[in-house]
């Protein structure tokens, strides 16, 4: 799979995880409490969320009320509200950054710079997945502990809501998308040969150091002097006089 295909696949998967994170943050289904009286008509379902609490009657009527104060929530839901919002911010920023460094958008001229930007966006998405996973697991652990506590009244036993399962799935999807984005970029330095190839190294022998000799210069027949005259070795003969003749 090429680099562009990996980047597009990572962005699509990360976007799905971002949408799931937003759904986890918004729906009031972190905890579900079912109460059924002596008559089934008096049954009701209570949904607890980060932002509101809803009560659904057996008649189908639903009433929701916003949580006006953060202190009215339990400790795990108070921490979940902050961590889920930070996870949303990290995932959104990382998703936008990946478009800047993506090869298909050509926002950056150098491939090495685009690769670094995409890796940074993938790391932000992975951080958002971890920030989402912490409150979801914490809330699930508290809910299971309260449910198994023998001192808890049956009418107050709470179960894990749909938001917890959506949060687990969204965190897993964000992790997959972030990892794909972090591994989709080529190395900044070119590779020669097949992957894993290492060029041979030839160590120099230190026991026999190279020896250098002076450059050979043929000895001169006589010393050079600035004064003197040139006398050729072969005597120079004067040519015979040329007499003009008429050709007929």
* 36-89 confidence digits (pLDDT tens): 555 555 567 888 888 888 888 777 788 888 887 888 788 888 899 999 999 999
pLDDT, residue 40, reads 53
Which helix (H) or strand (E) is 24 found in, with range? Answer: helix 3-26
What is the Cα–Cα distance from 57 to 193, expressed in whole angstroms? 70
Continuous H helices in 47-195:
75-101, 111-148, 162-183
| Sole residue written with tokens 């917890």 | 164
Structural domain contains residue 220: no
Average pLDDT on 153-175 reads 88
Highest mean pLDDT out of 67-81, 127-141, 182-196: 127-141
Q: How far apart are CA 121 and CA 31, in angstroms?
A: 33
Over 90: is that where the pLDDT of 132 sits? yes
Domain-located, residue 131? yes
Residue 43 lies inside a defined structural domain of this protein = no
Which own/partner contact pairs does 52-56 have at CB distance under 8 Å and 24+ positions apart? 52/28, 53/28, 54/28
Number of domains in the chain: 1
120 to 5, 35, 55, 185: CA distances (angstroms): 18, 48, 43, 11
* Token output for 111: 């491939």
- Contact indicator for 138, 30 with CB cutoff of 8 Å: no
pLDDT of residue 13: 93
Flag the least confident range among 13-22, 86-95, 149-158. 149-158
Structural domain for 81, as ranges: 3-30+71-183
Residue 56 lies in a domain: no
Degrees to nearest 5, angle at CA 203 with 199 and 209: 150
Instruction: Answer yes or no: is 116 within a domain.
Output: yes
The CATH code of the domain that includes 157 is 1.20.140.150
Q: Is 189 left (phi over 0), alpha (psi -120 to 50) or beta?
A: beta
Q: Is the pLDDT of residue 207 over 60?
A: no
Q: Please report which confidence band the pLDDT of residue 24 belongs to, taking 50, 70 and 90 as the band edges.
A: very high
What is the structure's pLDDT at 146? 84
Give 134's pLDDT tier (boundaries 50, 70, 90): very high
Whether 170 maps to a domain, the answer reads yes
To the nearest whole number, what is the mean pLDDT of the chain?
Answer: 77
Q: How confident is the model at residue 152 (pLDDT cuts 50, 70, 90)?
A: confident
Q: How many CB atoms lie within 10 A of CB 124?
A: 23
**Which pLDDT belongs to residue 5?**
80
Is 58 inside any structural domain?
no
Q: Whose CA is closest to 83, among 36, 9, 25, 39?
A: 25
pTM, rounded to two decimals: 0.67
pLDDT, tens only, 208-242: 666 666 655 555 555 555 555 555 565 556 566 65
Asked if residue 233 is part of any domain, the answer here is: no
User: Residue 133: its pLDDT value, please?
Assistant: 94
Q: Please list, residue by residue across 49-62, b when 16 or more beta carbons sit within 10 angstroms of its beta carbon and e when fewer do.
A: bbeebbebeeeeee
């Amino acid at each position: 799979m090429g680099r562009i295909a990996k980047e597009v696949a990572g962005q699509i998967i990360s976007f799905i995880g971002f949408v799931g994170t937003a759904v986890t943050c918004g729906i009031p289904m972190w905890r579900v409490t079912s109460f059924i009286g002596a008559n089934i008509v008096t049954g009701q379902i209570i949904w607890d969320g980060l932002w509101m609490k809803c009560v659904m009657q057996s008649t189908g009527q639903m009433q929701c009320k916003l949580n006006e104060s953060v202190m009215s929530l339990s400790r795990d839901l108070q921490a979940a509200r902050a961590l889920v919002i930070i996870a949303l911010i990290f995932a959104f920023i990382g998703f936008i950054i990946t478009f800047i460094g993506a090869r298909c958008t050509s926002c950056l001229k150098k491939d090495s710079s685009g690769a670094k930007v995409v890796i940074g966006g993938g790391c932000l998405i992975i951080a958002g997945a971890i920030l989402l996973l912490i409150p979801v697991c914490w809330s699930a652990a508290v809910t299971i502990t309260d449910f198994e506590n023998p001192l808890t009244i049956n009418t107050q036993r709470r179960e894990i809501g749909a938001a917890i399962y959506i949060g687990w799935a969204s965190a897993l999807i964000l992790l997959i998308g972030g990892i794909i984005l972090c591994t989709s970029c080529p190395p900044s330095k070119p590779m020669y040969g097949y992957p894993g190839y290492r060029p041979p190294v030839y160590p120099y022998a230190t026991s026999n150091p190279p020896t250098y000799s002076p450059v050979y210069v043929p000895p001169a027949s006589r010393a050079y002097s600035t004064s003197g005259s040139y006398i050729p070795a072969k005597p120079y003969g004067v040519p015979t006089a040329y007499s003009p003749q008429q050709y007929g």
